[in-house]
């Protein structure tokens, strides 16, 4: 809804019963303190907005952060995710302009204000295809010149929608942001800027857009900053439900079932305070892993041609889909190289040369790509993600916790003081085949972590410490990795003890502020 900024302020000050009910639908009727804090934050934001931009027609949007219980690194391979949108969010007050200038500012002065013209930026490249546009020399130069600037996430949304709806003349915007999602922590603070901006664009320009298109455009839009991830974070923010965990499918995108969050358990998110910034150095490692997925999947299809027609996405490397047992998947993986150099990739996959060339624009090639371990992680994480909701419905929380911990081992790089070997060797696969035929339940495919390797030594130590506390069922990395937070599933009666132990033995010991807290599921993104 579009209102004068002063009218929004009056609504929040008067606290009309309908407004109060609206806030309760978002955050929960039992969240009085949270609602009061959000209300006062919005009133304060409106004062700042009017001071900076004047009293004008505005929309207010919000986008929560997200926690993904199972299904990490796989939505762009067709895998599923199991998410809750959390009670940390980005708020945006967005005023309509008569020109196409976008002014971006934040209540926090450490985020510098900036501006851009929609038309001028859009026409820096004449490409009408989004991939060609963002990979053009002109746009790559623009992104490099502004690398790490938060405003690029606003541009990501605006430019993607402007290119998609090029017959619309989008209004310029005066934008004021305020957020409390921990940054560079694996809770998707940057993606929340994209989603909040997209909600504002849709509302201001009266776009008729379906939820799946909204999610798809947000995911593609964020490629503007240089990453090549999926749309899982944006989908979680858009489609999350209060007090629930929601299952989301990809390729094609589908909003699945939502299950009540277990009342006897809490999700604790603990920040390691090791930052991973996708828009800077860590981006290279993330994009290398996406390349490993691509190269590994092509090699899997090439070397198992009898199944090629059934393999459209990595998620289809699934015993049920292919009509085979787990041991046969292990045999098929033996036909995929454990490692490949870039020269070997080109030599083995000449039919994919154009795609390889494009992929190489996203990262610096390593000495060797970790093909098999990455592929194994993706295959098994897809299977784990598929059973998450079933375990929740059956209240098999200990089994869910075990899968969370196996999932983390797929990202693990250290165990104690030693490096963790996440390689998937021929001997390892042959042993799994033997154990599977002997009936060993731990040899099942979904019990294998694989090796994505995007944790850190500090994150691994934090996970292991959390798992040592009574009442903790599972712990894992949150988000893309290389720093950030961990997610801990803990019994409600053990939560206070867990928090006290984390404070004493992690945060106080490292002279860090307390960074662990309980997060609750709230409603997904919206325009007020």
Summarised one tens digit per residue, pLDDT across range 373-382 is 999 999 999 9
- 453: alpha, beta or left? (left if phi > 0; alpha if psi -120 to 50): left
How far is Cα 99 from Cα 118, in angstroms, rounded to an integer? 9
**H or E segment at 178?**
strand 173-179
* pTM of the complete model: 0.91
Q: What is the mean pLDDT of residues 317-329?
A: 98
Cα distances (Å, whole numbers) of residue 85 to 65, 68, 122, 277, 461:
6, 9, 32, 21, 26
The bridge status of strand 244-249 relative to strand 81-96 is: antiparallel
Q: What angle do CA 135, 140, 146 make, to 5 degrees?
A: 145
Position 281 scores a pLDDT of 62
**H or E segment at 218?**
helix 211-221
Q: Which residues pair with 418 in a beta bridge?
A: 415
Q: CB within 8 A of 323, min separation 6: which ones?
A: none
What are the tens digits of pLDDT across the range 131-185?
A: 999 999 999 999 988 888 999 999 999 999 999 998 888 999 999 999 999 887 7
Q: H-type helices in 304-456, by residue range?
A: 319-322, 326-333, 342-348, 353-360, 371-393, 397-409, 426-437
Position 278 scores a pLDDT of 52
CATH code reported for the domain at 282-456:
1.20.1440
**Percent of the chain having pLDDT more than 90?**
90
Q: What is the mean pLDDT of residues 400-408?
A: 98
What are the tens digits of pLDDT across the range 432-455?
A: 999 999 999 999 999 999 999 999
Q: What is the mean pLDDT of residues 199-219?
A: 95
Q: Are residues 527 and 277 in contact, defined by beta-carbon separation less than 8 angstroms?
A: no
Position 442 scores a pLDDT of 97
Same fold, 58-261+522-527 and 282-456: no
Cα distances (Å, whole numbers) of residue 79 to 31, 85, 289, 303:
33, 19, 15, 22
Position 148 scores a pLDDT of 82
Residue 91, classed as helix, strand or coil, is strand
- The verdict on domain 58-261+522-527 having CATH code 1.10.260.40 is no
Q: What is the mean pLDDT of residues 228-254?
A: 92
Position 279 scores a pLDDT of 44
Q: What is the mean pLDDT of residues 394-419?
A: 97
What are the tens digits of pLDDT across the range 261-302?
A: 999 999 999 999 998 765 456 778 889 999 999 999 999 999
What are the tens digits of pLDDT across the range 79-132?
A: 999 999 999 999 999 999 999 999 999 999 999 999 999 999 999 998 889 999
Q: What is the mean pLDDT of residues 482-490?
A: 94
Residue ranges covered by each domain of the chain: 1-55, 58-261+522-527, 282-456
How far is Cα 16 from Cα 20, in angstroms, rounded to an integer? 6
307 pLDDT band, cuts 50/70/90, is: very high
Q: Residue 247 pLDDT > 60, yes or no?
A: yes
Tokens linked to 84: 């809750």
Q: What angle do CA 37, 40, 45 make, to 5 degrees?
A: 120
């Amino acid at each position: 809804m579009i209102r004068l900024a002063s009218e929004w302020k009056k609504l929040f000050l008067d606290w009309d019963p309908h407004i109060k009910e609206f806030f309760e639908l978002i955050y929960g009727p039992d969240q009085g303190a949270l609602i009061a804090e959000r209300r006062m934050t919005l009133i304060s934001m409106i004062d700042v907005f009017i001071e900076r931009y004047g009293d004008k027609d505005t929309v207010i949007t919000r986008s929560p952060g997200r926690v993904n219980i199972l299904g990490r690194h796989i939505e762009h391979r067709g895998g599923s995710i199991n998410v809750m949108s959390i009670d940390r969010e980005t708020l945006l007050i967005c005023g309509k302009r008569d020109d196409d200038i976008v002014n971006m500012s934040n209540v926090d002065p450490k985020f510098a204000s900036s501006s851009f013209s929609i038309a001028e930026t859009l026409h820096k490249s004449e490409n009408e295809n989004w991939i060609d546009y963002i990979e053009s020399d002109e746009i790559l130069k623009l992104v490099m010149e502004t690398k790490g600037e938060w405003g690029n996430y606003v541009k990501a949304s605006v430019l993607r929608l402007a290119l998609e709806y090029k017959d619309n003349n989008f209004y310029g915007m005066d934008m004021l942001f305020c957020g409390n999602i921990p940054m560079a922590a694996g809770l998707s603070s940057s993606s929340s800027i994209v989603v909040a901006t997209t909600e504002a664009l849709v509302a201001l320009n009266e776009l008729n857009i379906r939820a799946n298109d909204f999610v798809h455009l947000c995911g593609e839009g964020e490629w503007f900053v240089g990453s090549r991830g999926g749309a899982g974070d944006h989908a979680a923010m858009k489609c999350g439900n209060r007090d629930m965990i929601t299952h989301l499918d990809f390729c094609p995108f589908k909003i699945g079932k939502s299950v009540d969050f277990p009342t006897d358990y809490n999700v604790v998110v603990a920040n390691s305070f090791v930052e991973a910034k996708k828009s800077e150095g860590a981006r290279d490692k993330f994009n290398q892993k996406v390349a490993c997925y691509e190269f590994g999947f092509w090699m899997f299809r090439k070397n198992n041609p009898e199944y090629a027609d059934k393999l459209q996405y990595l998620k289809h490397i699934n015993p049920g889909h292919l009509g085979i047992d787990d041991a046969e998947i292990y045999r098929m993986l033996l036909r995929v190289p454990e490692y490949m150099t870039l020269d070997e990739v080109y030599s083995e996959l000449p039919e994919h040369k154009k795609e390889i060339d494009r992929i190489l624009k996203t990262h610096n090639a390593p000495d060797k790509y970790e093909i098999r371990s990455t592929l194994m992680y993706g295959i098994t994480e897809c299977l784990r993600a598929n059973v998450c909701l079933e375990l929740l419905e059956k209240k098999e929380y200990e089994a869910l916790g075990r899968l969370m911990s196996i999932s983390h081992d797929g990202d693990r790089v250290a165990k104690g003081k030693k490096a963790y070997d996440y390689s998937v060797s021929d001997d390892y696969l042959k042993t799994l085949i033997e154990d599977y035929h002997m009936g060993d339940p731990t040899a099942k495919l979904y019990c294998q972590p694989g090796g994505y390797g995007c944790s850190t030594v500090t994150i691994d130590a934090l996970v292991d410490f959390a798992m040592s506390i009574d009442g903790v069922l599972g712990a894992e990395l949150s988000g893309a990795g290389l720093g950030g937070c961990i997610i801990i599933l803990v019994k409600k009666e053990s939560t206070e003890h867990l928090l006290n132990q984390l404070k004493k033995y992690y945060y106080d010991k490292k002279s860090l502020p307390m960074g662990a807290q309980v997060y609750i599921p709230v409603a997904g993104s919206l325009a007020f």
